[in-house]
Amino acid sequence: MTALQVLFALNAIWFGMAFDAFYRRRAIFGKVLVPVQADRDNTAYAALVESGRFMGGFNLALSLFNVLLVFNVGGFDTPAQWATLLVFNAVAHGSQFVGNIPMAIANRRGGGLWPVFRGVMLRIFVIDCVLMVANAALAAALLL
């Protein structure tokens, strides 16, 4: 397996895990985002939990996309084409990582709605950062 295939496989696994967390286990993930039981007794919390189906669906599509790329189903053959696909993945991971930065800053100041620096959210924060950088770095290497 080439570095490109390994990275696409890692993306597929991570997005597949996100599908499982957001779609199949959305009630559990809702508790991660709203850790205080008293804050869960409202329709906004119920809507948050059910919105996991949408987030899960997007992650399923991203996982399948990366599985197809592992096997080069699209027939991409130039470095620029592969770099474009890697940049797409870097942005997908980066949007998750960067989206958590304001919450991480709030955590450092003693606030924030969910804990970014422990448990599941820390894993998500770190892995999205690593995959963002890895996808961007390989894209840059292909273009140089």
Domain boundaries along the sequence of the chain: 3-143
Whole-prediction pTM value? Answer: 0.88
pLDDT at position 72, please? 87
Rounded to whole angstroms, the Cα distance separating 62 from 60 reads: 5
| Cβ proximity of 123 and 81 under 8 Å | no
* DSSP codes joined into one string, 88-135: HHHHHHHHHHHHHHHHHHHHHTT--SS-SSSHHHHHHHHHHHHHHHHH
**Is the pLDDT assigned to residue 132 strictly greater than 70?**
yes
Residue 55, judged by CB atoms within 10 A of its CB (0-12, 13-18, 19+), counts as middle
pLDDT at position 1, please? 64
pLDDT digit string (tens) for 61-78?
Answer: 999 999 999 998 778 889
